[in-house]
Structure 1
Amino acid sequence: MTTEWDGLPDTVKKFMTALDARQGARALTVFTADAVVTDEGHDHSGRAEIEAWLAASVSESEYTYTTEFTGATTTGTTVDVEQHLEGDFPGGIADLHYRFTLDGALIDRLVIEP
């Protein structure tokens, strides 16, 4: 089912807005204790590893960029979000796919891929 931004689960919206605002501690609050995040082919398991990944992701980077929500689909406990990025990183443009698996109101699994 196609989902507009306002129709996304609050947990997903909270994560995406916290990540965009570079608020790693806020983003961490939406994960289960044993959640797994896969980004750039690497797994980050449990809150401590996810916290370290978020800290690195939201730290001041040498690149600046903007993000735009471009669409989402929801199937059961899975929410797929598409995000368009433009900035001064190599290539200048990227489209990312965030696949969230929810456990109740929290994120149990997140896979980020091009």
Structure 2
Amino acid sequence: MHDNQPRTSTPDTLPEVIPRYLTAHRTHDTATAITAFTREATVIDDGNTYAGTQAIGEWLDRSTTEFTYTIHLTDAQQTDATHYIATHHLEGNFPGGTIDLRYQFTLRDDLIERLVIEP
């Protein structure tokens, strides 16, 4: 029997590359964060698309200095063999002060091929 329902994961059951990226991003370690992505990866955040590791690195550098915030993983799900959603609660000095964001990961060859971040 095949079940297409999302499966709840915990941070320690997510593929290694996702917590590696999330930890590096949270600690402002762009060099390590970039190693989690394929060379052709894309990130979509705040309505903007960043294609390739150079553009993603520039986005990471900018996003870690623009605002000060705390981030906590509140939920993790695997939606199929290559898709995962990690929901985070952020609090900080950005407009609105708090938000829950869904980090939607698509993996290829144990790396992040696509990341979409949206409420």
Normalised by the size of structure 2, how large is the TM-score?
Answer: 0.89
- Structure 2 residue 92 is the aligned partner of structure 1 residue 77: no
Equivalent residue number for residue 4 of structure 2 = none
Equivalent residue number for residue 102 of structure 2 = 97
Equivalent residue number for residue 112 of structure 2 = 107
Flag structure 2 segments of 5+ consecutive residues without an equivalent. 1-6
Aligned pair count? Answer: 112
Q: Which aligned runs of 4 or more in structure 1 are off by greater than 3 angstroms?
A: none
Task: Assess if the C-alpha contact under 8 Å between 1:20 and 1:67 holds in 2.
Answer: yes
Flag structure 1 segments of 5+ consecutive residues without an equivalent. none
CA offsets 1:59-102 (integer angstroms, 9 cap, x no match): 3x3x3221111001102100100000112222111100000000
Aligned ranges 1:1-114 → 2 under 5 Å: 1-59=7-65, 61=66, 63-74=67-78, 75-114=80-119
Q: CA deviation at 1:52?
A: 1.1
Normalised by the size of structure 1, how large is the TM-score?
Answer: 0.93
